Amino acid sequence: MKKTTLLLLFFGLIVSAQNNRMIYEYKFRPDSTKIDSLKTEWIYLDINKNGSKYYSKKAFENDSIVNESIKKQMASGMRSISVSRQQSGSDISYEVEKTYPEYKTFLVSNIGNDSYKVLEDRKPNWKILSDKKQIGEFKVQKATANFAGRNWEAWFTTDVPIQDGPYKFSGLPGLIVEIADQTGSHKIELKGIKKIVEVQKEELNTEGKNIPYTKKKPLEVNRQQYVKQLKQYENDPVQGMREILSRPNSKVMINVNGKEISDPKDILRELEKNAKEEMVKNNNKIELIP
């Protein structure tokens, strides 16, 4: 009876004009050299009749706090905007958008202080197997695929008739309830479904101001162009900030772990140090081949 009620609720959500939120738990090991580096993030997959958006709950909340702080500083007439990005921020800064019914997939990601919207030109080549089991309230079936350098095992349910899932995964005859890579270092599992009211996104007008850590309108590029930018960033992770600081009358102050820094040389040195440390620690990304 409980399962029937849940499925009827979901069908009601799909038919309605409201947004529907799939709540996933994402467990991942960012550092392949450390078994104890396992982390957990709560990820939302928001679905409506036009498509879906996959993003980190924590990143969304942190961005809201930063934007509110900037908005107050701008309203008070402050000439210098101070941005604090603490280490308690999300490890998942990217978003994935899909458009229905063609399931065109885009990665929205930052490289340095720039944002990119990347059209994905690859699709998982699913092999649907006969294996079936129960996960929570759902009867699920197994499927496997290779995508972006990893072998994936997915469990999908035809109880929810929508061919979507977390991250860039879609194309199965039902919602993906669980998916994990063969190494066990990335696992995403559905934990809840809820209806949400669509809220109009407020755009922060920062025209004429170069403010680090704020979201900008992403530049649309293809995957090859994005990979080129990634390689440039790995070679020089502070190039974007260096360009900002070299502009006339440019003044930037950052807060790193409670320490305020305003000298351009110190900013570049601190940001480069942190960026390179993060690259070393995050050597086990969800895509081995971006």
pLDDT at 215: 61
The domain limits of the chain are 2-281
Strand residues in 112-185 grouped as ranges (E): 114-119, 127-135, 138-147, 150-157, 175-181
Position 83 confidence tier, pLDDT thresholds 50, 70, 90: low
Model confidence band, residue 243 (pLDDT cutoffs 50, 70, 90): confident
Task: Report pLDDT digits (tens) over 102-139.
Answer: 999 999 999 987 899 999 999 999 999 999 999 999 99
Q: What residue has token string 């029937």?
A: 4
Residue 92 CB coordination number (10 Å): 20
Residue 261's pLDDT band (cuts 50, 70, 90): confident
Instruction: Identify which has the larger pLDDT, 6 or 26.
Output: 26
- Token pair belonging to 22: 């799939």
Flag the least confident range among 146-155, 224-233, 254-263.
254-263
- Contacts of residue 161, Cβ cutoff 8 Å, sequence gap at least 6: 14, 173, 174
Strand partners for 48? 51
Arithmetic mean of pLDDT over the chain: 84
At residue 253 the predicted structure's pLDDT band, cuts being 50, 70 and 90, is confident
Sign, Cα dihedral of 126, 131, 132, 133: negative
Backbone angles phi, psi at 135, to 5 degrees: -120, 110
Task: Give tens-digit pLDDT for 154-169.
Answer: 999 999 989 999 999 9
pLDDT higher than threshold 90 for residue 259 = no
- Segment 209-240, tens digit of pLDDT: 555 555 678 999 999 999 999 999 999 998 88
Query: CA-CA distance, 216 to 65, in Å (whole number)?
Result: 16
- The token duo for 36 is 């104890």
Task: Calculate what percentage of the chain has a pLDDT beyond 90.
Answer: 58
pTM confidence score: 0.81
What does the alpha-carbon distance between residue 29 and residue 167 come to, in Å, rounded to a whole number?
16
Under the banding of pLDDT at 50, 70 and 90, the label for residue 204 is low
Between 14 and 233, the higher pLDDT residue: 233
Tokens describing residue 184: 């066990």
- Under DSSP, is residue 130 helix (H, G, I), strand (E, B) or coil? strand
What phi and psi, each to the nearest 5 degrees, are found at residue 41? -130, 145
pLDDT over 70 (residue 66):
no
Hunting for tokens 């790995």 — which residue is that?
A: 234
- Name the 3-class secondary structure at 187: strand
